[in-house]
Amino acid sequence: MNAGRTYLDWNATAPLRPEARAGVMAALDLVGNPSSPHAEGRRARAVVEDARESVASLIGARPSEVVFTSGGAESNNAVFAGGWETVFVAGIEHDSVLAPARASGARIIELPVASTGVVPADRAADLMRGAHEPGPALLSLQLANNETGVLQPVSAIAALAREHGLLVHTDAVQAVGRVPVDMRSLGVDFLTLSAHKIGGPKGIGALVIRDGASLPALIRGGGQERRRRAGTEAVAAIAGFGAAAQAAQRDLAGMARVRALREQLEAEVLGLAPDAVIVAAEADRLPNTSSIALAGTAAETLVIALDLAGIAVSAGAACSSGKVGASHVLEAMGVAPGIARAAIRVSLGWSSREADVAAFVEAWAHVAARRRERAVA
């Protein structure tokens, strides 16, 4: 990270872990194609399969269920190419879920979202009971929201979905490495992962497909990834993903420290500006994520002011930050427009320190002071 800068945008991407960098560099020296039967090919294949085992271990899956992809967006898009007639989905999902769902030709049934950002299991059950028709049906529910950090009751809703004959997908991109994730306990059929959110390289992810569930091949024309995704595997990126998965599993216990930093940051923010809003503060959230709004100050203005002060945060999702207007996530939650337009996302990670929180709070104090000056003028 740049000297003199404070990085608080981990939900957009995490810094590359040293273990992942070492894994990538070592794999770049491998000559063989992992599909070749000779010694060089077998060495490359061993790297891919070792990484597959590490990724599977991180989320309690079997290695045979892990399909490497180019990232979370590809994995999410692949799920909605499953020929579903009905899709249940909430308005808080990432665009890489909502866009392919709407383009799939399926009948879309929107799951309700409470003001806390949580999809209530009882209301989802009523909707499934009354709206599901015969034919292949999918329910997609994220494990954690990228903007607010709100955790969803995926296990409870997946159990209800199975009673109605639905298959279940969860986008776990933001949750993995920050809270324990176990695919069997969740009871889902499809699970999406992205390496760069846990300190792996960008451009590599996975779609985990439960043994017994099926989807059309993501890419055709070769036998790679058990004929689910043709094309020579990105060996170096996969090696980095595997190394990051091992490190993320090791560092899970450290998330309690990150939560304490997040709580300290929120307390100091409210101390400086008591009318600031912590979005979904009452909900169960990721330990590293805070959505903060200062009414009357546009999110874009806050992001720029903080950037000039050496602090990197974001307004909404990184892939949507160029858009003008309020977050679709906050809109689905029913957050007042004045708050939604003012919300920024602060997200920490395994190497965040008290000094990072102090730097943010110092910059926030200047923003709050200027706001008070404008109010008096």
* Catalytic residue of the set 213, 217, 319, 339: 319
Q: Is 328 a catalytic residue?
A: no
Contact between 152 and 91 (Cβ < 8 Å)? no
For tokens 């404008």, the residue is 374
**Which residues are within 8 A (CB) of 187 and not within 5 positions of it... i.e. 6 or more apart?**
154, 155, 158, 159, 162, 168
- Nearest C-alpha neighbor of 199 from the set 244, 146, 250, 252: 244
DSSP per position, 145-179: -TTT-BBP-HHHHHHHHHHTT-EEEEE-TTTBTTB
**Three-class DSSP category at 300:** helix
Whole-angstrom distance, CA of residue 316 vs CA of residue 326: 9
What are the Cα distances from residue 280, in Å, to 105, 172, 330, 346, 366?
A: 33, 19, 10, 14, 25
Give the DSSP letter of residue 122. H
Name the packing angle between helices 354-376 and 255-272 (round to 10°): 20
- Give the count of alpha carbons within 13 A of 194, CB side only: 23
- Nearest C-alpha neighbor of 143 from the set 79, 186, 88, 111: 186
Contact between 282 and 371 (Cβ < 8 Å)? no
CA dihedral over 326, 330, 334, 335, signed as positive or negative? negative
Written as one letter, the residue type at 103 is A
Backbone angles phi, psi at 142, to 5 degrees: -65, 155
Q: Which amino acids are annotated catalytic?
A: 319
